[in-house]
Structure 1
C-alpha cells in the first residue's frame, strides 16, 4: 500500500469514528429528554397548580378593573351626551335672544307713542296705525316665545323685577310691585330683561 493510500484510509477511519460518536451522543440526548418528560413529580405539579391559580386570580382582578373602568367611562359619556343635548336644545330655544333684545327698545317706543297719542287725543288714523304696528310686534314676540312679565300687584321677585324705587302705599302689603317703568320680558322660561318697577315698602 502506497503512502497516500494509507493516509486516505486513516482519514476515512477518523471520520467514521466521529460520525459514530455523534450518533451515540444524539441517541443519549433523545433518551434523556424522553425520560425527563415522563417524570412528573407530584411536588412540581402542585407548584404549577398554584401558579395557575394565582394567574387566574390576577386575570379575574384585571377583568374586574377593566369592567369598573368601562362603567365609569360609560357614565361619563352619558353625562356628556346629556350636557351636549341640553346645550343644543338651549341653542335652538334661545338662539334668537339677541335679536329679541335688540327689538325690545322698539316695543318700548311704540308703547310710549301710544300713551302719548291716547293722552293727547291724537287723530284716530295715526293711533290706529301705531296700534297695528304694535300688534304686529306682539304677534312676532308670541310666535318666538317672548312674553311680557306681569308685574303690577304681584309680589316682588328679584329674578323678574328690578326695583328702582320704593314707596309706602296705603292698603298695599310691603314688597309688592305698584308700578312698572319699563316692561320686562321672558324668552321661553328665561328672563331676558327684568321689569323696571316701583315696590311698596
Structure 2
C-alpha cells in the first residue's frame, strides 16, 4: 500500500511509530510522570469538593429563607378565615353605637380589641387606607368608580368598603375601595 492510498490519520500514526527517539520506537508523549497525574487528579477532586461545598451552602441559605417565610405566613389560612369576624365586630360596634347602649358597646369593644391584639401579635397589620388617599392598583382593589364629588378627588379614594390587611410583608387581603372619576 502506497502513502497516497493511506488516509492522513494512518500516515500520521505510522510516522509517530516509525520515528525513533533515542533508539526506541515508543511514543514518549503518551507517558506522563506519575506525580503529574496525581497532581491533576488531586486538582480535579479539589474542584469537585469546592463545587459541592458551594452547592451545599446555597442549599442551606435557600432552605433557611424558605423556613423563615413559612414561619411568617404559617397561620395565614387561619388568620384569613378570621378577617370576616373582625369585619362583623366593626359592623356590630357601629350598630351598638347607634343604639346608645354604652355597657354593651364597652363589652363588645373589649372582645374586639382582644381579638385584634392577638392577631396583631401574630403579624397581622391593617392597611391604613382612608378617604382621600391616592388610588394605587398595587395596594388597593377598586370595587367601583363613581363621579368625583369635587375636582380634587379625581383618581382618589372616595370610600373604603372593606379594610385590607398584611401578614408580615405580604398583603393577604387588599382593601376594597370606591374611587372617583
Deviation string, structure 1 residues 45-91 (Cα, Å, up to 9, x no partner): xx8898343x4444333333333322322222112111111121122
Corresponding residue number in structure 2 for 1:116: 95
Deviation string, structure 1 residues 17-51 (Cα, Å, up to 9, x no partner): xxxxxxxxxxxxxxxxxxxxxxxxx878xx88983
Unaligned runs of 5+ in 1: 1-41
Q: What's the C-alpha RMSD, in Å, of the aligned pairs?
A: 2.6
Aligned length: 157
Distance 1:63 1:134, change over 3 A: same
Corresponding residue number in structure 1 for 2:15: none
Q: What's the CA shift for 1:141?
A: 1.9
Distance in 2, matches of 1:60 and 1:156, equals 67
Q: What's the CA shift for 1:167?
A: 2.7
Q: Pick the structure with more helix per residue.
A: 1
Counterpart check, 1:83 vs 2:67 = no
Distance 1:49 1:123, change over 3 A: closer
Unaligned runs of 5+ in 2: 1-21
Larger radius of gyration: 1
TM superposition score normalised by structure 2: 0.73
Corresponding residue number in structure 2 for 1:133: 111
Asked if 2 retains the 8 angstrom alpha-carbon contact of 1:172 and 1:200, the reply is no
